[in-house]
Amino acid sequence: MGYDTKTVQTNVYGYKTSSKGNSAVFPMTDGYDDYHIYTIDWNADRIIWSLDNKPIRTLLKKDTLNSQTGNYVYPVRPSQIQIGFWDANGKSEFQY
């Protein structure tokens, strides 16, 4: 999560839902100095996020129903998956 290299954040948005999304944060070993494998396994009923081949989060579509709108906060159409890495400490080890 930017400056915190020892956490990983997952988030998901659904069709016709607010921009709030459904996010969660999980601890990890140092994401700056260590190599990691990130996996997203998504189907119509669930999403599993894994870190280094170990599931860290499972989100079931049935658990994302917004009772006020009747919509699920879950992707149900072809979607864009984004993953971002950055060094937010403000120091550069490289000369440009």
- The model's pTM is 0.74
Q: Tell me the C-alpha distance between 53 and 40, whole Å.
A: 10
pLDDT in tens, 50-78: 999 999 999 999 998 888 888 888 888 87
- Cβ neighbors of 87 (< 8 A, separation 6 or more) are 32
Question: Structural domain boundaries of the chain?
Answer: 7-64
CB 27 within 8 A of CB 87: no
Q: Tell me the C-alpha distance between 25 and 72, whole Å.
A: 21
- Residue 17 has which token pair? 């839902």
Q: Tell me the C-alpha distance between 54 and 95, whole Å.
A: 36
